[in-house]
A and B are shown apart, each in its own frame.
Chain A
Amino acid sequence: DTGVSQDPRHKITKRGQNVTFRCDPISEHNRLYWYRQTLGQGPEFLTYFQNEAQLEKSRLLSDRFSAERPKGSFSTLEIQRTEQGDSAMYLCASSSTSGKTYNEQFFGPGTRLTVL
């Protein structure tokens, strides 16, 4: 399977704990995006990388959130001191900036975070 993968699929944590999610994009894609989806809403953009460079961060991304893509391949999203409002589905997508499939963003299965 060469699609986008995310790990873990589910995470339950207590308020105040730190959590880290991982995303493995489609191998030939140079762009990687993080989105967040809450119940009944469409996904909202959080941040994106082109190769290893983080090019944009949403105002939704408070200073408790940090994302990395150290070698331009997989990415991690860390949430420090989790709050109940962080409970959501965290989605990763990847795309290419060239060719016929330019900007076709393919999504992973998501990580569902529940903060108790």
Chain B
Amino acid sequence: AQKVTQAQTEISVVEKEDVTLDCVYETRDTTYYLFWYKQPPSGELVFLIRRNSFDEQNEISGRYSWNFQKSTSSFNFTITASQVVDSAVYFCALSGAFGNEKLTFGTGTRLTIIP
């Protein structure tokens, strides 16, 4: 069975601070995919990133960066120089492959950026 744990239920930071959201996963699959989604107050889930289990390179996209470490089964997400518009619930998710692509989500981290 697959499992995703987001231990941080809520985080508040002051605008312009950096913040890291933690994600730990469990799977027995050798091929799997990790995702991050943003859910703003409007409610729609916004796709941010998908990484496969064979690519441990860190990725940076603007103020966002992701750190994938298989050794610790973690896929953490850092927002640099946070902005009020970053306030949302962020979900980490895991899927398998080869017919097992359904997503297993964590319980989410509510991020509040204080102006």
- Say whether A associates with B: yes
Give A109's nearest chain B residue, CB to CB.
Answer: B44
Q: How many residue pairs at the A-B interface have CB separations less than 8 Å?
A: 57
Interface size class of A (residues with CB under 8 A): 20 to 34
Q: A62 → chain B, closest Cβ, in Å?
A: 18
Interface readout for B31-59 with A: 1 if CB under 8 Å, 0 if not?
A: 00101010000111111001000000000
Chain A residues lying within 8 Å of B37, measured Cβ to Cβ, are 107
Docked pose: A112 CA to B43 CA in angstroms? 10
Flag whether B104 is at the interface (Cβ < 8 A): yes
B107 touches A43 (CB 8 A): no
Chain B residues lying within 8 Å of A97, measured Cβ to Cβ, are 101
Give A3's nearest chain B residue, CB to CB.
Answer: B44
Flag whether B75 is at the interface (Cβ < 8 A): no
Q: Which of A48, A56, A105, A112 contacts B47 (CB under 8 A)?
A: A105
B44 touches A107 (CB 8 A): yes
Docked pose: A109 CA to B107 CA in angstroms? 19
Chain B residues lying within 8 Å of A105, measured Cβ to Cβ, are 35, 47, 101, 103
Q: Hey, which bits of chain B sit against chain A, CB under 8 A? A: 4, 33, 35, 37, 42-47, 50, 91, 93, 95, 97, 99, 101-108
